[in-house]
Structure 1
Amino acid sequence: MVELLVVEDEEKIGQLLVSSLGANGYQVTWFRSGAEAVQAALGASFDLVLLDLGLPDLDGIEVCRLIKRHQPQSLVVVLTARRDEMDVIEGLEAGADDYLTKPFRMAELLARVRAHLRRSSVGDFGSQTTFSGGELVLDTAARRCLVRDREVALRPKEFDLLARLAAEAGRAVTREALMDDVWDRNWFGSTKTLDVHIAALRHRLCEAAESFEPAAVVPAITTLRGHGYRLESPEANPFR
């Protein structure tokens, strides 16, 4: 059974989430404080976390960061009443995979949960499994990203984005295609999520390359304004 963690201090919202998610076949654990949630993440594994940012004890951004540190494979959807764009971006940069602003419709929340869980079960994009470009090797079957044989830790959505771009290395991939394939074709949310994850992926690849002396050669991700992104790769070998 799929295990969900709900972190929400508002009684009515928490009860509604537990009831609705439970009725849809999910096993739900509910905590009202950030400290309890972080402690739970140390001892149990969760497929997806619904995390309120406005908690009474710890800042939700820090809770997100700590949960992702202990359970990088867990999907995190933040629930926030904060309307400021920087708050949303900060949450995504802390490791969240998505966000919903309060008040939200339960139908939309359930659709997001289903979409994330469905995408997380997809191991690769097609039958091809290995890509190499420069000194980067991507193995989708093992979900490993290597630079000069040293593993690069990528979050689930970062890995899926890189795999999707690598599947068409050297070709333009539209924003719509990336959202359809990495998130879900019935996506309700803002594509700001895509931009934040692309920025994080670029940072991780650059950081990995610059950890060597001399720096390793890794593919660049080019922004195509008004269209999407393209993975540039010197001497790229396509998936095989």
Structure 2
Amino acid sequence: MHSILIVEDENDLAEVLVRYLQMDGYQTERAKDGPEGLTLWRATQPDLILLDIMLPRLSGLEVLRTIRESRKRTAVIMLTARAEEIDHVLGLELGADDYVVKPFRPRELLARIKAVLRRTRQPDETDDRPLRVGNLELDVVRFSARLSGKKLEVTPAEFRLLSILARSPGRVFSRQELIAEALPESEAMDRVVDAHMMHLRQKMVRLDPTPLLVTVRGVGYKLGEGP
């Protein structure tokens, strides 16, 4: 049974979410603001957090930043009433696994929750061998990455994107292909993929200046063959 922490200050919405999630077999906890959300997250270590962006006392983005800085791999779905692309990009860049724009149907949210839990908790069972491209190694069982022998800190979404590229080194993937493979139930746009890749490239360059992650202008991205 998966546990879900709901961090939402709108009482009516939070009550609806609790009811639907419990009917679907999930254990739930609920926080009404950012600091309370962090306290419950540390105490309960849920499998997934439904995290509103606009929270009292501490914003959802700041809560997300704190969670990701802890390096714990809790899945996070952002809830936002703002449909502007920049909110989505910023949330995903900080390490959110998906986002849902209010108003939404509870059944739609349940489907997204199942998809995120499936992606973040179940590695590819068909082939659990490490993926290696040049000086990059991905452990698909532990969801960990190493570059030039050093640990590469990646979010779940970044790991999925790297895994897709690493399974076909040298092949150029379009942004839409990457969305379909890594974020199939999401409403992600091309700009979101670009943000992920920019953030990922910055992390990789800190460990090794070799341009392993390559942008193919006007087409998409690939992992080169390495040095």
Q: TM-score, normalised by structure 2?
A: 0.89
- Alpha carbons of 1:41 and 1:188: their partners in 2 closer, same or farther (altered >3 Å)? closer
Partner of 2:148: 148
Matches within 5 A, 1:87-98: 87-98=87-98
Equivalent position to 2:226, from 210, 228, 234: 234
Tell which has more relative contact order, 1 or 2 (C-alpha 8 A, sep 6+).
1
Equivalent position to 2:187, from 179, 186, 189: 189
Structure 2: distance between partners of 1:35 and 1:146: 33
Note the aligned Cα RMSD (angstroms).
Answer: 2.1
Return the letter of the residue paired with 1:110: L
Deviations, residues 2-25 of structure 1 (Å, cap 9, x unaligned): 011100001100001111111111
Return the letter of the residue paired with 1:231: L
Residue 201 (structure 1) aligned with residue 194 (structure 2): no
Structure 1: distance between partners of 2:61 and 2:155: 16
Structure 2: distance between partners of 1:205 and 1:124: 24
Deviations, residues 9-64 of structure 1 (Å, cap 9, x unaligned): 01100001111111111111111111011112222211111111111211221111
Partner of 2:75: 75
Tell me, yes or no, if the aligned pair for 2:95 and 2:156 is still in contact at 8 Å: no
- Alpha carbons of 1:224 and 1:106: their partners in 2 closer, same or farther (altered >3 Å)? farther
- Alpha carbons of 1:89 and 1:57: their partners in 2 closer, same or farther (altered >3 Å)? same
Deviations, residues 83-128 of structure 1 (Å, cap 9, x unaligned): 3332322222222122112112222211111111111233248426
Q: Secondary structure at the match of 1:171?
A: coil
Tell me, yes or no, if the aligned pair for 2:77 and 2:97 is still in contact at 8 Å: yes
5+ residue gaps, structure 2, are: none
Q: Secondary structure at the match of 1:83?
A: coil
Residue 221 (structure 1) aligned with residue 219 (structure 2): no
Partner of 2:138: 138
Tell me, yes or no, if the aligned pair for 2:214 and 2:222 is still in contact at 8 Å: yes
Tell me, yes or no, if the aligned pair for 2:213 and 2:221 is still in contact at 8 Å: no
Partner of 2:43: 43
Cα deviation for residue 162 of structure 1 reads 0.6
- Alpha carbons of 1:45 and 1:167: their partners in 2 closer, same or farther (altered >3 Å)? same
Partner of 1:238: none
Partner of 1:166: 166
